[in-house]
Amino acid sequence: GAVVSQHPSWVICKSGTSVKIECRSLDFQATTMFWYRQFPKQSLMLMATSNEGSKATYEQGVEKDKFLINHASLTLSTLTVTSAHPEDSSFYICSARDLQREVYTYNEQFFGPGTRLTVL
């Protein structure tokens, strides 16, 4: 149980275009999903916390107009990189927390497989 999928697994786009990444919890409901960015050989940098039915909470330094997050249901959150530029190239990973476990303050995150974005 507790499987999280991401789509696409990799994407190449031209500079100036927008890219949407989906994060789905397949067998559980998640009130909270996290979006991370990871550069090669570096740590996971939290970009934003996505809450179902409300606006996402962005970390300091992350442009909310550039990285649009929508958490429309308990199983789906999307990250849209708008007007992408080469510096946005990175590995984007989402994670989700199980609604049922959250009730008991069980904090475990379940990570998606990640999306490799390359902007030409």
Residues within the interface to another protein (CB under 8 A)? 32, 34, 41-46, 49, 51, 93, 105, 107-109, 111-114
CB 117 within 8 A of CB 15: no
- The smaller minimum CB distance to another protein, of residues 31 and 70, is found at 31
Minimum Å gap between C-beta 72 and another protein is: 18
- The smaller minimum CB distance to another protein, of residues 14 and 41, is found at 41
| Residue 57 bridge partners (DSSP) | 49
Minimum Å gap between C-beta 16 and another protein is: 27
Minimum Å gap between C-beta 120 and another protein is: 20
